[in-house]
Amino acid sequence: MTRLKFEHQLGDMYKITNKKGEYIGYLDFYKPWKCWVLKPMYNCIFSADCMQEIVDYMNKLKQKG
């Protein structure tokens, strides 16, 4: 079940919104670590299912190159 929406922004950034359309953070490629990272909005909470959805999307971006 998809709870989150990932929308490509400028550069290597993806805006994340929940099913209500509320902005909850973004994914960004962090060059010093050479990997995708989550930068959540302050006071956001995530269930294990939501976190798994984020990790799955990060893995998809990693495979994309």
pLDDT at residue 65, rounded to an integer:
73
Q: How confident is the model at residue 57 (pLDDT cuts 50, 70, 90)?
A: very high
Side chain identity at residue 31, one-letter code: K
1-54 pLDDT, tens digit per residue, is 789 999 999 899 999 999 999 999 999 999 999 999 999 999 999 999 999 999
Q: How do the domains of the chain map onto residue ranges?
A: 4-64
pTM of the full structure = 0.90
Tell whether the torsion through CA atoms of 25, 53, 43 and 35 is positive or negative. negative
SS (H, E, C) 1-65: CCCEEEEECCCCEEEEEECCCCEEEEEEEECCCCEEEEEECCCCCCCHHHHHHHHHHHHHHHHHC
pLDDT at residue 64, rounded to an integer:
86
pLDDT at residue 1, rounded to an integer:
72
